[in-house]
Structure 1
Amino acid sequence: MRISIFGYGVTTTPLVSFLNQQGHNLYIYDDKFTQSHNDDFGNTLLPPKDFIPEQSDREILSPGIPPSHSLVRKAQHLISEYDYFYELLHNDMNTHKKDMPFIIWISGTNGKTTTTEMTTLLLEPFNAQSGGNIGTPLATLYTNNPKVWVLETSSFTLHYTHNASPRIYALLPVKEDHISWHGSFENYIEDKLSPLKRMDSHTYAIIPSEFAHHSLAKDFKGTLILYESSQDLAQKCSISHQDIIFKEPFLLDAIIALSIAKFAFKADDMRLLNTFHIGAHRIAEFYDRFNRLWVDDSKGTNVDATIQAIARYTHTHIIVILGGDDKGANLTPLFEFIKDKDIEIISIGANEERLCAFAKKYNIAITPCQDIYKAMDCIHKKRDTNAKDVVLLSPAAASLDQFSSYKQRGEIFTQLALHS
């Protein structure tokens, strides 16, 4: 079998290594290759223009490659990494009588990582490991064979997955994101709900109640749990949310994790969950030497995440740093949310001109600063040493226009805040 790999980066490197160990010499296509050459492992590295569909038996792709890419349009046997390993697991079960792992998928616009990590913590006593967007690569999960796979699952992966399905699928709230990649918000929703059509009567799905009338939800064969809020889901799953130490938006993440653990193995251990520590760069509070509050929410890369972050601090004056690559997202909900609140905006990044136009339309104070260094210098000059307000970095945009990652953006923000 001639296997083609589309995209050669963080996602596909472990897959390539695994396939090489299985004896496959691969044909790897990536935009960064300008001419055909071979690596030390017998793989042929080629530019996309050299892909000939008739010479390929199977194509496995990096999920970030958009459907509009020439490789995707030409492919005739395209599958996702999820589909590939799902096929291997089923072959092992049928041929070698191996047990199928208990597979959990977690998706949504925001909160996927936190919910996945919380769920993995709760299910560690049952030999659970996390993977997908975070944690262990699928190739390593397959090799290590843990009993429970908890996979943070992106809309990109869901778009290309047509055979694999989980035992439990949990969908956090879905807001506008990656619209240019999916083509429309409706397509984005369709991809987010797509696992439901492949799940059988022995499965569970936890999804927002706004999708109750979607055809995929109405045709779902398993046990469907619809929720409107954290409190609503807690009530439906008999969880005492008052005993959870986390505040929103992490409260919903916690309740979904508890619900998953309860349905999977009756493992809704509240005390264990309350030992969980929220990851870096997501509404991470810290204080400077003047005891002033700063909040690193660099992971707030879309409008809904930023709205969630701002909502925690509306009792005081907020200086919010916005800006970056917003990928053409609809910014109206953000400005509608902040228009009547005690907020001023410091803007940076590629969409600064757009932010200024919105701020003018909604009569909201904004100071354009171009980059994080000028922004922080501006804030230090205007902020009193005894200020009781909050400075919030929650850009509602991706970071790659000016930074290597949201992590670097958050680290620079924190460093500049603490060295005033």
Structure 2
Amino acid sequence: MGTIQSYEGEKVTILGAGTSGQGLAFLARRLGAQVFVTEHKESLPDHVEKAFHENGIDCETGGHSERALDTNVLVVSSGISPSVPIIQKALGAGVPVMGELDFVVPHLQGKIIGVTGSNGKSTTTALTGFVLEKCGYKAVAAGNIGKALSCCAEENWDYIVIELSSFQLAWAHNLHSHIAIVTNLAPDHIDWHGSYEKYIEAKARLIHLQEPGQWAIVQNRDVRALEAHKRSHVASLFWEGQQEKLQKTHAFIRMGDKKAFLCTDGVDELLFRYEDTSLIGRHNLENVAMTMAALTLSGMKCSDASRFVADFKPLSHRCTFVADIDGVRYIDDSKGTNVAASSTALSSIEGEKVVILGGKGKGEDYGPLAEVVKKEARVAIILGEEKAKILQALENIGFSNCIEVADMEEAVRMAMKAALPGETVLLSPACTSWDMYSSYEKRGEHFQHLVKQYGGKR
């Protein structure tokens, strides 16, 4: 939160008319601005056009005209790269350019818990908001999770839990989180940032923008990459028994065999028992532990908060249990759209697995994925545009138990034939869905439908 900016009578251009851009436009209008929205898509949904018209918001589609530069400030909605020509023109013309967070944060009232990371941030954000609400706080989960942050402005909250993408953070200068959580780091969105180092820099901004002494919660292995220890108090997460050098931090989240603890000043406090949650996978245990640590470091009694963990239902398509058919467990992790996410899902779920991989790629190296598949899966079923690249990566490390398929229907049928009682069929593609589906949600829904439709017929 910062000094509240008045836009009464000023011109504000919003770049992008997606969920983030719409929220920005409506907030700017409420703040008294003359609002112009510019969108590169050829058209907008009818209800969005109607809402803009009813609120006195002008809009153009099909590209960005020079009118976008006739403004007091150009506000960039989530996901838009600084390399977009209209942004470069604005900067060259001396037009102020501002990211979504810097525009909205001054109008937020409440303690901010910021959550970012390569994987697990949606689950951690949703769980944190859920437990806070259950504990009687006025709390909201917003940001990259689906609810535009702008919708939370100008209202009194006890806590605002914000899921933050690297895209949003790259633009941020004025976000001061009461608690910062970085769930993990792995290569992603390299095409947007230009390098893995720039991607980490964006993630690290969540911590570096904190006031001195605020708490940051990170993986032990990521402490130095984030330079988290230079400004914030750090609680770092590690698993007992791992050959991992512990960084010197202010507190530790210790993951044991059956329980997680927060250790501060040499004293262990129980965060939760693993049996308390229905979330699947070792990575989700880390998400819960980080949530519980954040709440504890915010001053809550862990015993009060942990009793609500069992009531939290997993988000759709994130290691979601689908069915148990003939002793085979089916899990939908369609949200696994990169190598790190799918590798984590494979490693986190116990037992032999039949994994379904493939889709539209992000230019990643599938070598690390192949190594995890060789270790964790008995059979790999491959489909989609990246089929040949994934198969080659698997062949390179000597994994040959692969089945090529044309579509999801064939993938599910072959998985049902291949899986043995006690095994898990895991959809975790390591790719986006855009070669076959409009979204990872549609892909996951189709997988779930097919599993239930075929009903285990082999």
* Same structural fold, with TM-score higher than 0.5 when normalized by the shorter chain: yes
User: Deviation of residue 47 (structure 1)?
Assistant: 4.5
Residue 234 of structure 1 corresponds to: 261
The answer to which of 146-155 and 340-349 deviates more is: 340-349
- Cα root mean square deviation, aligned: 2.5
> Aligned to 1:419, what secondary structure does the other structure show?
helix
User: Closer, same or farther in 2 for the Cα pair 1:196/1:341, shift >3 Å?
Assistant: closer
User: Deviation of residue 43 (structure 1)?
Assistant: 0.7
8 Å contact kept, 1:297–1:392: yes
Residue 3 of structure 2 corresponds to: none
State the percentage of identical aligned residues.
Answer: 26
User: Closer, same or farther in 2 for the Cα pair 1:216/1:360, shift >3 Å?
Assistant: closer
Superposed counterparts of 1:220-299, under 5 Å: 220=231, 222-229=232-239, 231=254, 234-236=261-263, 238-240=268-270, 243-245=273-275, 246=277, 247-268=281-302, 269-287=305-323, 289-299=325-335
User: Closer, same or farther in 2 for the Cα pair 1:286/1:47, shift >3 Å?
Assistant: closer
Superposed counterparts of 1:160-199, under 5 Å: 160-199=171-210
Superposed counterparts of 1:12-161, under 5 Å: 12-33=21-42, 40=53, 41-51=56-66, 55-76=70-91, 77-89=96-108, 100-124=109-133, 125-134=136-145, 136-161=147-172
- So what's the TM-score if we normalise by structure 2? 0.81
User: Deviation of residue 73 (structure 1)?
Assistant: 2.4
Whole-angstrom CA distance in 1 between matches of 2:310 and 2:69: 54
User: Deviation of residue 371 (structure 1)?
Assistant: 1.9
8 Å contact kept, 1:324–1:401: yes
Q: Which of residues 7, 16, 22 is equivalent to 1:7?
A: 16
> Aligned to 1:287, what secondary structure does the other structure show?
strand
Whole-angstrom CA distance in 2 between matches of 1:372 and 1:227: 37
Residue 7 of structure 2 corresponds to: none
Whole-angstrom CA distance in 2 between matches of 1:215 and 1:415: 41
Which ranges in structure 2 are unaligned for 5 or more consecutive residues?
A: 1-9, 44-48, 240-252
User: Closer, same or farther in 2 for the Cα pair 1:14/1:342, shift >3 Å?
Assistant: closer
Residue 6 of structure 2 corresponds to: none
Residue type of the partner of 1:234? F
Whole-angstrom CA distance in 2 between matches of 1:404 and 1:164: 32
- So what's the TM-score if we normalise by structure 1? 0.88
Larger strand proportion of the pair: 2
User: Deviation of residue 286 (structure 1)?
Assistant: 3.2
Whole-angstrom CA distance in 2 between matches of 1:348 and 1:110: 23
Whole-angstrom CA distance in 1 between matches of 2:376 and 2:144: 35
The answer to which of 72-81 and 181-190 deviates more is: 72-81
User: Closer, same or farther in 2 for the Cα pair 1:287/1:226, shift >3 Å?
Assistant: closer
User: Closer, same or farther in 2 for the Cα pair 1:33/1:58, shift >3 Å?
Assistant: farther
User: Deviation of residue 145 (structure 1)?
Assistant: 2.5
> Aligned to 1:339, what secondary structure does the other structure show?
helix
Q: Return the structure number with greater relative CO, CA threshold 8 A, min gap 6.
A: 1
User: Closer, same or farther in 2 for the Cα pair 1:216/1:293, shift >3 Å?
Assistant: closer
> Aligned to 1:123, what secondary structure does the other structure show?
helix
Whole-angstrom CA distance in 2 between matches of 1:187 and 1:198: 16
User: Closer, same or farther in 2 for the Cα pair 1:370/1:239, shift >3 Å?
Assistant: farther
Whole-angstrom CA distance in 2 between matches of 1:111 and 1:187: 20
8 Å contact kept, 2:37–2:58: yes
8 Å contact kept, 2:216–2:228: no
Note if 1:392 corresponds to 2:426: yes
> Aligned to 1:326, what secondary structure does the other structure show?
coil
Residue 407 of structure 1 corresponds to: 441
> Aligned to 2:451, what secondary structure does the other structure show?
helix
Q: Which of residues 331, 339, 358 is equivalent to 2:374?
A: 339
Whole-angstrom CA distance in 1 between matches of 2:374 and 2:132: 43
Whole-angstrom CA distance in 2 between matches of 1:20 and 1:275: 39
Runs of 4+ in 1 over 6 A off after TM superposition: none
Residue type of the partner of 2:190? I
Residue type of the partner of 1:70? P
Equivalent residue pairs, number: 404
> Aligned to 1:254, what secondary structure does the other structure show?
helix
Whole-angstrom CA distance in 2 between matches of 1:215 and 1:116: 20
